[in-house]
Amino acid sequence: MPTPGENRPVASGEVADQLRQEFLDESAEVLQGLDLLLDAGRNGHRGEDEIVPAFRRAALTLRGQAANNGYGAVSTIAHRLDDYLRSVSSPFLPRVWDDLQRFLDTAQNLLAADPEASRDVSGLVRGLPHALGFDLKDIQIRNVEVMLVMMPGAQTHFVERELQECGYRVSVVSDTIMALAMAVQIKPDLIIVSAVMAGGLDGIDLAIGLSAMPSTRNIPMAVITSLDPGDERLNLLPKAVPIVHKSPSFGDDLFAALDRLFLI
């Protein structure tokens, strides 16, 4: 027991609580600032070219800090916001103002709640606005949530567009570790993974892991690859996971995989 005048050792739990409270306070301030910025933009006092960068910076910051402080649901929402912002251009479509407000309100509500009580947020996240994409007025939108795990680039954009043309709601995740956590939280209707991904966990590892985990093993999955059909790594995949090869027949192969998974 410390004598008067001595410093009392600080328990690790107290440090964690202090850091978590600092995160909550800072996040509340950031979100309040975005709320004010959005309101000023609606009224023509701030430019749209200021709004998207500010929201993107906040999304990237929240994505990492929220996960580190036990607010995984907020991290997932921040990722979905960043994914949505990729599709926003100026001038804003009328719905963008309301969409951004929904992201803000959802994040603020989750930060105000007990993180233990907000773990099952699949319905909440599914209800968030999706990337705008191209003009879908002639396409019947299906209530099918697709997680596309691929690195950014022209190929990813092409696959995303193909899926959107099928009427699916698509979210793009470029990090396999994040995709693993988001799959558990969101439980999408379909996960499509690129076989080769950067980092320590590649797409084949991710597909095998998700197929084995009780919480995700019933989610239909497909793997996109440019690997040779005889590559031994592909033989490690469960038989129930279709393989879509990057080739001139890619569109037909993707359609066949979706048909095999009973999603068409």
CATH of the domain at 161: 3.40.50.2300
Whether 149 and 254 map to the same domain: the answer is: yes
- Is the per-residue pLDDT at 255 higher than 90? no
Whether 56 and 97 map to the same domain: the answer is: yes
Q: Which two tokens stand for residue 98?
A: 């309301």
Query: E strands, the chain, where?
Result: 145-149, 169-173, 190-194, 221-225, 243-245
Residue type (1 letter), 45: H
Domain hosting 96: range is 12-120
Could you tell me what percent of the chain has a pLDDT over 70?
Answer: 89
- Buried b / exposed e over 171-209, threshold 16 CB at 10 Å, is bbbbbbebbbbbbbbbbbbbbbbbbebeeeebbbbbbbe
Does 138 map to a domain? no
- Is the per-residue pLDDT at 264 higher than 70? no
Give the burial class of 221: count Cβ atoms within 10 A of its Cβ; 0-12 exposed, 13-18 middle, 19 or more buried.
buried
Average pLDDT for the chain: 86
- Is the per-residue pLDDT at 242 higher than 80? yes
- Is the per-residue pLDDT at 9 higher than 60? no
Does 158 map to a domain? yes
Which of 175 and 126 is assigned the larger pLDDT?
175
List Cα–Cα distances, 121 to 44, 136, 184, in angstroms.
34, 27, 10
pLDDT reported for residue 24? 94
What letter does residue 261 receive in the DSSP assignment? Answer: T
pLDDT reported for residue 68? 87
The pLDDT tens digits for 75-123 are 989 999 998 998 898 899 899 999 999 999 999 999 988 766 556 677 8
Q: How many domains does the chain have?
A: 2
Q: Which two tokens stand for residue 48?
A: 């749209």
pLDDT reported for residue 204? 94
Whether 164 and 89 map to the same domain: the answer is: no
User: What is the pLDDT confidence band of residue 166, given thresholds at 50, 70 and 90?
Assistant: confident
CATH number at residue 60: 1.20.120.160
Whether 29 and 106 map to the same domain: the answer is: yes
pLDDT reported for residue 133? 61
Q: Mean per-residue pLDDT for 59-83?
A: 90
Does 215 map to a domain? yes
Whether 151 and 185 map to the same domain: the answer is: yes
Closest to 174 measured CA to CA, from 182, 164, 186, 185: 182
pLDDT reported for residue 5? 55
Identify the top-confidence range among 36-50, 78-92, 112-126, 136-150: 36-50
Whether 152 and 60 map to the same domain: the answer is: no
- Is the per-residue pLDDT at 33 higher than 70? yes
- Is the per-residue pLDDT at 169 higher than 90? no
Whether 153 and 250 map to the same domain: the answer is: yes
Whether 256 and 162 map to the same domain: the answer is: yes
Whether 241 and 166 map to the same domain: the answer is: yes
